[in-house]
Structures are given as C-alpha cells and as structure tokens.
Amino acid sequence: MAFAIKAASTSNSTSSPAVHQLLSLTTRMASAAKMPAGRRNAAAVIRAVAAAVAPPPAPAPARPTGDQRCLRPCPGSRRRAMCALLSYIDCSLGFHTAFIPYITAGDPDLATTAEALRLLDACGADVIELGMPFSDPYADGPVIQASAARALASGTTTDGVLAMLKEVAPELSCPVVLFSYFNPIVRRGLADFAAAAKDAGVDGLIVPDLPYAATCALRSEAMKNEQELVVHSSSIDFIPIYSTLLL
C-alpha cells in the first residue's frame, strides 16, 4: 500500500499528533508490505494502528470563529469542510496546518482501502485524496505507479471504487477528493462520471492530465454536482486563461 502526505500551512509549526500518527502508519505499512502475505499484514497493521490512535474521550478544543473557519466540522458536513479549507488557503491564515493524505484505491484491495479511509479520518486528515488506479499514471512517481499497478492487478475498477466510497463516505467527517486521470472519465462520460462521483460522496476532482480543450466541459459537470475541480500546474501564460474558465 502506498501513502502520500501533503501539508499546507503558513506557520512554522511542524509538530502535530496527526503528522506523527500518519508517518508511523506509513512506516509500518512499508514494513508490512515487505513481509510474506503482505496484504494480510497490511490489513492487520491498519486495524492495529486504528486502535492505537483512536482518540480518547475529551472535551472538543475551541474552534476558530468568524474568518477563522474550522477545517473539522461535525460528521455529515464534508461539503462545508471543503469550502472552509478553500477559505483557509485563500486567506493564508497561519494558525492551522492542513494535512492531506493520499491513498490509492484498491491497493491491496478495496476492503483495506475502506479501513484506511476511516483511519485517516480518525487521525485528523483535513482532506483525503483517493487515487483512482490507472494503467498509465505518468504524472505520478514510481511508488504511486507501483501502487496503481497492484490495484489494477487485484481487479480494482472505477465502479468498485465508487461503490466502496459510497458506503464509507457517510462515516467520514473530512472531504474526499478523487484523483483520476482523464481517460477513465472520458470512457464513462463526463456527465455520468461526475454524477456517479457525487452519488458516491466525492467532494472534489483532481485531474492531472486534463486537456485545456476539455476544461470547460468538465468544470460545468463538476459544478452541477457541487465538486471542486483542480487542474494540472500551468505556466504563467496559461494562468489568466484558466482563471477565466474556472471562476
């Protein structure tokens, strides 16, 4: 199983229980994957870590108010959490670090992915990136490429990922953003894919290889289904053009 952790912050603070928990999980998962029966060991590690990091009963900490909107609202309000996260980034507030873990769906299997999603949410993830495995993930590094290959080899499909997420998403308090290459979206059809993603509980889409010519069409379908759309990095010349299309 492959994990990636991203952080967005304007403060100098790098110490957080969530960071240490996620780094510990990553290390233990890497060790488990090298053992015989790696899938079984990986699932066992997730269950063990989930039990170890389960938060003890305690009064909820004071939450920011006003412009300092909270990244972690109550369960069932993932859409508000997504909007709050975007507000944090836009305002460049320095009081909070946003942790955004990435996991490939179906590596080693979808049952383990479901457990991992619950665990990452319990660890305090502000947003979870769920990677849709693809046969040619050229925008990713070797670790995630290998993870996608394992997921496809185990029989993971787009329908299977969305069905799994539909069951798990209601249990999560943080938004889920689906990372998918454009080809699987085109094969299913832009409108059908966006609608199915919404039904599964997807709050946003990351499409690293989205062609410029298809941006308007996919953006339109994403907006209909209340999904944020993130496109690939662009040159200075293209930023004004993309801004016109996406705002």
Q: Give the whole-angstrom CA distance, residue 221 versus residue 186.
A: 12
Prediction pTM value? 0.63
Q: Give the whole-angstrom CA distance, residue 211 versus residue 165.
A: 27
**In the annotation, is 171 catalytic?**
no
Catalytic residue, candidates 107, 121, 126, 129: 129
Full pLDDT tens readout for the chain, 247 residues: 665 655 554 444 444 454 455 555 555 555 555 555 555 555 555 556 555 555 554 443 343 333 343 344 434 455 555 665 566 555 544 556 678 899 999 999 999 999 999 999 999 888 899 999 999 998 889 999 999 999 999 999 999 999 999 999 999 988 899 999 999 999 999 999 899 998 999 988 888 888 777 777 777 787 787 776 665 555 666 666 655 655 5
**Domain coordinates in residue numbering, the chain:** 3-10+62-246
Q: Give the whole-angstrom CA distance, residue 1 versus residue 65.
A: 38
CATH for the 3-10+62-246 domain, from 3.90.180.10, 3.40.50.800, 2.60.40.180, 3.20.20.70: 3.20.20.70
**In the annotation, is 226 catalytic?**
no
Catalytic residue, candidates 107, 121, 126, 140: 140
Q: How many CB atoms lie within 10 A of CB 9?
A: 17
